[in-house]
Structure 1
């Protein structure tokens, strides 16, 4: 969910695997002896440590597919979210695009004519099972090229004990309901006075700066695009959102010892599970991580600047198939990937939201375990706002945000100037 919607990354090195033997990552998918086809797949790692890396899921998936489809081998390379998009871009530039990629953006490759459409790949049943808003977000000029893999929405997590100890809530109180940014500022000040190392974590590092930024923009009444879906990155509400972070949060020492531009999301999550972070924006994967460490936490929508209702941010991560001459084999593999049992296996492992109707209905019906905690995330999904992933320029704009947005909240930072620079480049790359 480059939003990701969604995405926890811990491993820095690629994990290259097949269901049978390990092979070199640099091999090009093609025919291997006796007309056997090898599909090369690149995927993102959603694990937060080597023990729960996504490698195991893809290894099992590849083994199951190979057993059901003799003559087709599947070679998967799993990269951390901090590098997977760049790795695929390098492969494409070198003329060695993978057959299938599960990454954060698809539209630039679709616009360049490098991808098969969903209709060319999937069975009617699989194609029809995608949640409508996510399927629509996967379209370029009304043709779907991006297939949603998993989705998520975001909520504000808070450590109940830390807030109680700081006097923000009563010792036995639950259900804290901050309404505005002023409430967050007041709570963060109390946490600081109680010597909490990081009252409010604001991860604007490379891992997912574009998501953290969008959450604050939406909560301030802005967003990356306007109602006409034109870029509005430098709008007045967006400038004010970053000025709030610069002046009220960073400027008052409420965001901890690491400056936001150098703080990655997983590091912030780790701080929360260690009891060192009072509040932060998080997605469903934080549920399991916090529970595993015994952290008692609450979740609420991120308050808006003035207490008015604003949409939450939704994220989807994407699957795409490159035109490498293996359309039939890639389509079969994708139909297998989207079988309900395989969708459920992945979303359950990482506490993510499904991208399919069948998976969504199953999650809604669930009443036990972490599924209960997933209900507020599910409730926010239908009306959430996603990245402008249908724009071919989005991948470049997202990278620009990752590289530069942290500067806006530094002491003396200039949000208006930086956002204007990002917006000018975005509009130039996306003429309407």
Structure 2
């Protein structure tokens, strides 16, 4: 499934040319070509003796240890160039970051800059600076468009993309060889056939269906997109009970879970546990993010990855994921926040903080740099997916509540006796309630 070197080079050059033309057009129409000082945010210290409280996530070092490791270096370099600004960096475990931020905001102690999966409620409440208030046109134009679009609420971008990702189908090459499987499956029938062969050689979990509460919403959306469905309809509102979604979950129930091809308890399998089982050889294949590559290399697992397949063949629409940075208005430090974000997304900082092989760059320039380095080659297939990635409706105020219901309920649809239509109908009802609650909050 690997492309030829010539094809990769042509795609790369075309992508770079498109990105350059877009950036040049935006810069020229804004009258800012050749300058980055629109807001006085770079090359100077906007204020004196200002401390910015920056709240970020820390990660489980068992998988993806490099995520977040670069913060200290970035902060040190920023402070050397901005003598009047000190960064008070606070790390919170990733699985607690959203709750911690929500509690701080409710208590009137919002940080100046925060990392989170959630930004829409704070934007709608008027608590955040939008991107145009923080960054000059050149920096704004450099963000990959699919990410800035999903970071937009009411025609303004409040969620600044950070540590992006898009998953692919990882598989254990040695287990595939022993099972007589020729390569990565390119359809759901091929995936099931591979799972049957893996089970035949004693693999406990041929396909690691991650429907546990840690990331069931991401796993489910990958399957729904591959069947032509999703979480939203043509009018961008929630739409769960569709024929494509029903057929996708029914297929999972009858063709994968019922035959024991997704392990003993797919509704309880979390992402972290699935990755750990893959590293031990207990899972033959699974949807996973680039963060798994470094851990698999360290564990000397013979792995490969490929696009997740559409139901009837070919590459599925990829899922896009991102954490988000946001700047709060509470302390009146717009310029200082803008200075820090501009530095974070500048060339050298962006290159240092692209997550290594754990996460993907969110700007065209950092993507170009990754494509220009031989060390970045493992990320190329993931980077190539970003332009076509589709996201969960993270820019809807009600999404955090809806996401919680998906995580607890969607796994029940694929178990023995599960009713996909009923689960999806219930999700529509829960989403409608969440929308009403969000509108009156």
Match of 2:390 among 385, 389, 398: 385
| 1:216-274 residue CA offsets vs partner (Å, 9 max, x unmatched) | 000111011123322112212112222222222222111224x2222211211111122
Aligned residue runs from structure 1 range 19-418, under 5 A: 36-46=49-59, 48-49=61-62, 52=65, 54=67, 56-169=69-182, 176-257=183-264, 259-307=265-313, 310-324=316-330, 325-366=332-373, 368-369=374-375, 371-418=376-423
SS of residue paired to 2:396:
coil
Distance in 1 separating the partners of 2:170 and 2:66? 24
SS of residue paired to 1:349:
coil
Q: Provide closer, same or farther for how the CA distance between residues 48 and 410 of structure 1 changes in structure 2, counting only shifts above 3 A.
A: farther
Distance in 1 separating the partners of 2:179 and 2:431? 43
Partner of 1:19: none
Distance in 2 separating the partners of 1:422 and 1:187? 31
| 1:279-315 residue CA offsets vs partner (Å, 9 max, x unmatched) | 0001111111111111112212112222266411122
Partner of 1:3: none
Structure 1 length normalisation: TM-score? 0.84
Structure 2 length normalisation: TM-score? 0.83
- Tell me if the contact between 1:108 and 1:394 (Cα under 8 Å) persists in the aligned partners: no
SS of residue paired to 1:362:
helix
Could you tell which deviates more after superposition, 343-352 or 93-102? 343-352
Shift of 1:330: 1.3
SS of residue paired to 1:82:
helix
SS of residue paired to 1:354:
coil
Shift of 1:355: 0.7
Give the structure with the larger helix fraction: 2
Gapped regions of structure 2 (runs ≥ 5): 1-46
Partner of 2:34: none
SS of residue paired to 1:360:
helix
Q: Provide closer, same or farther for how the CA distance between residues 218 and 376 of structure 1 changes in structure 2, counting only shifts above 3 A.
A: same
- Tell me if the contact between 1:47 and 1:53 (Cα under 8 Å) persists in the aligned partners: no
Q: Provide closer, same or farther for how the CA distance between residues 51 and 179 of structure 1 changes in structure 2, counting only shifts above 3 A.
A: closer
| 1:111-148 residue CA offsets vs partner (Å, 9 max, x unmatched) | 11111111111233322221122122211121111111
Q: Provide closer, same or farther for how the CA distance between residues 129 and 391 of structure 1 changes in structure 2, counting only shifts above 3 A.
A: same
Aligned-pair RMSD on alpha carbons? 2.2
SS of residue paired to 1:386:
coil
